[in-house]
Structure 1
Amino acid sequence: MTIEGFAPAKVNLSLHVTGQRADGYHLLDSLVVFASVGDRLWLDKTDTMSMEISGPFANGVPTDARNLVWQAAELAGVKGHIQLEKNLPHGAGLGGGSADAAALLRSLFGQLVDDGIGLEGALSLGADVPVCIGSIPQRMHGIGDLLQAVQPMPRCHIVLVNPSVAVPTGAVFEGLEIKDNPAMDAFDGFEGVAALVGWLQSQRNDLEAPARAVAPVIGQVLDALDDALIARMSGSGSTCYGIYPDSAAADSAAARIRRAYNNWWVVSTQTAGQTPS
């Protein structure tokens, strides 16, 4: 039997770092959505573990126990041959290996972490794994262990841009000077794109400054998205997103950026949610 999974790109619309625990884990407060672009994987159950990687970003991805998908299968007590199609760039702030591991667990156990290996097990793979298992708009806080579904949430037309520069998450957090920043402003879902964008205007990504210190090109990416309703960096970078009023505007912006920067990864896509408004 073949198990198939889809790992949508995780987009942090906002990301506030609100503290750091004694054990070193950072406390986050983030509004997370998922795009319709992502990696794909297939698992054929066998008596042994093996893995192969394909796709435009296959180069450099481990095909052994270093891979989080492999680790997720072991954690779930499953063996087999895993095929992973890498369509998302590495070190991009889009979920990466955590999203891939979550896709496997979601395919095995369904939407809820507690139906499978438990929250603690999912967190052992990475702080982003629990939120990626749901793949729905969520508020993620704590160390990634506190999740709250966000409804209503409009479906957004977005452009994702990565300058083909990987940013190590550890280096970004090490460069964060202030650890105890204010949490996100209160919200109770968003009735439309205008309400969401209006709220985002006063939110932040606290990791943007240290990420730009590691990869100054992030500033150039944000400048390229200056015609968006709002543009921000996602996660720890280096991918940035821009929200556009409709698909035509998003497609046009993506085409313009591709022409100007033909070595960048540029995608016009949508996020999960209700009808745009």
Structure 2
Amino acid sequence: MSNLRHGLQQTLCLRQLARGQLLKPQWQRLGSQFSAKSMSTSQPEADTNLNAPPEAPFRGVKTARPLPVSPSYFSREPRFNDAYVKLSTMLQRYQHLPTAPPELVPRQLWKNLEGYRSTTGEPVKALPYSQVLAMVKRLHSIFPKMMPGEVKEALQEFKREIDPYKNVPKTTPLDRFGRALGVGRRKTSTARAWVVEGTGEVLVNGKPLNEMFGRVHDRESAIWALRSTGRTDKYNVWALVDGGGVTGQAEALTLAVAKAILAHEPALRPILRKAGCITRDPRSVERKKHGHVKARKMPAWVKR
């Protein structure tokens, strides 16, 4: 018991000693403050006011957080959502303004979906963007003299930086021999045709038409651009075809000859378009999928 009593007394003494060492610097600090204050009493009160710290700008504010500019900040497409709301509000506000007839509406090209995505950097979907373009075109149809300024400013975001009147189609030039070159494609076939004024001779890969294409249908397809315009005996054709099958080569030659004829007679474009000669057929063989026998055929189901 004596040892325990002796140990407790030592612990109490050490605690009192540590408390005295902690309080000593505080009393010294307070004494230095009192001495500095007594020394500064001789200065005027104006100096104390100048040296006083400025008041806190947000006195009484405990917490603060930044607020976004728009409520759409937390959405996936903030800029697009703001534009959608802004255009719908304008359309509701100015729907009573008169609109111009279609032939008097100024020509303007609008950004497509890919262009708008690259401008804003947002993954905008096709259906909402088509709805926005419909509102843009409706606001653009207002008479220019009566269109409000905020509508003009809102439409600037969707305009393409291009002059539609400078979009002139390119013309195929004739070389020094009077030949026009036309290129056509169909499936995996490619055809190049040189057309020059002549007597109606046709050579494909150095062979006559009947030797190159055995089927009558393929022969008719190859020179359909000449037959539909009544120019069979007016031009000579020298063509090179490669790739694909016989039918694909014949239909590719149709497009090539039609493009070359347009270089000689551009006025034949409506006739050739009506005959289907200058329209590129985008159809091609559908690729085979994994797990399928062919492009769409599935393997037969076996019960066991």
Same structural fold, with TM-score higher than 0.5 when normalized by the shorter chain: no
Q: Computing the radius of gyration over CA atoms, which structure comes out larger, 1 or 2?
A: 2
Normalised by the length of structure 2, the TM-score is 0.27
Question: Greater RCO between the two (CA within 8 Å, min separation 6)?
Answer: 1
More helix per residue: 1 or 2?
2
